[in-house]
Every structure is written in C-alpha cells, then in structure tokens.
Amino acid sequence: MKQSPLQLKFVTYPTASYETLDDYAGEGDDIVPAEVNCEVSWTLNGPHMVVVNIKSDQEKNAAPYRFSVTAASLFSFDREVAEREYKPKTASQLSKYIAVNAARIVYAGAREQLAMMTARGPHGAAMLGSVLLEPSDVKIRSDAHPLEILRSVFGASDEELEELNSRAAASKREESSSPASSN
C-alpha cells in the first residue's frame, strides 16, 4: 500500500434530503440517475476545499426519490508525493489530477450517504451508478490569481507560467477579433 498524496480533514454533509415519489413504478434495486456537480477551491494559505453535490435527475424521472446531498471536505496534499505518484508533465496538470481525485473521494462518500439515508425508505436504498469524474467535470476556484496558485501551491516554473499567460492572451485576442464578439 502506498501513501496517498491527499489528506481529507473531514467530510461533512451540510445539506442532505430526500422525499419519496409516490408514482414510481420501477424496481427497488434500479440504479438511480443523478446530476453530479463538483467544485474545488484552492487557497494560498490553508487547506483547500472540495464540494460535491448530487441531486436527482428529474428529467429522466426514473427515480423512486427526489434527493439532494451536498458533501464537503477540507483537504491538503503532499506535492512531492503527488508528483511522484501522478507523474504530471506540468504543474497545471498536477492541479487537475489532485482536484479530480479529491472530488472522486468525496463523491463516493456522498453516494454512500444517500444510500444510507434512503435505506429504510419504501423503495429501499437509492443506489447511484458509479461515475468516472474527469478534470473537465470539476469546476476550479481559488482565492488568488490562478497563475499565483500554480506557482505557490503547485510549484509551476516561470516557463510554464509564461506559456500559460501567452495562451490566455492569444485566446483573448481570438475572442475579440471574432465576428460574434463585435456584435
């Protein structure tokens, strides 16, 4: 067994609720469709935070319950262990790996919380399907400019920061010169 680079401080469920839907006609052991929203907040000085919200997908209307669970955790990570285990090519890539792995851990807890809450409901435990969270599924926020987070928290080199800055400037120039932006 290897040491994990991530250390969750605690997981809390600031909101968690469900209600039974009387018109549900499926089997009690159906996989329940859900919407999943994940957000990681990086900080310069202190623990980082991950928040995962799962809620019933009412468009699919295939669930025995209407539910919402929000799970949140403060966490830290060991950059040296993360670099060794994840083998990122850039600090930017490392930040995405850590964010998505923190979200995956907290999602698993939120999924279990929902199952536990609904276990004695009339349709039995609401079982969410396993999902593969990817970096594009996790919204990132920070208490400082993203380039400063990459430098201070993830050890980005000046060269990487300059390249990211150049790409952002080029993207901005493209947006401002596109026909849609001049309307």
- Phi/psi at 55 (5° precision): -145, 155
The residue type found at 125 is A
Location of structure tokens 């792995």:
101
| CATH 3.30.930.10 corresponds to the domain 6-156 | no
Domain boundaries, the chain: 6-156
CA distance 78 to 170: 33
Could you read off the pLDDT of 55-78 as tens digits, one per residue?
A: 988 665 567 889 999 999 999 999
pLDDT band for position 89 (50/70/90)?
A: very high
- Report yes or no: 41 and 48 within 8 Å, Cβ to Cβ: yes
Q: What pairs with residue 123 in β-bridges?
A: none
The pLDDT assigned to 158 comes to 93
Closest among 121, 134, 25, 115 to 69, alpha carbons compared: 115
Interior/surface letters 7-23, b for 16+ CB within 10 angstroms, e for the rest: ebeebeeeebebeebee
Closest among 60, 65, 72, 58 to 110, alpha carbons compared: 72
Lowest mean pLDDT among 58-62, 81-85, 117-121: 58-62
Give pTM, 2 decimals. Answer: 0.87
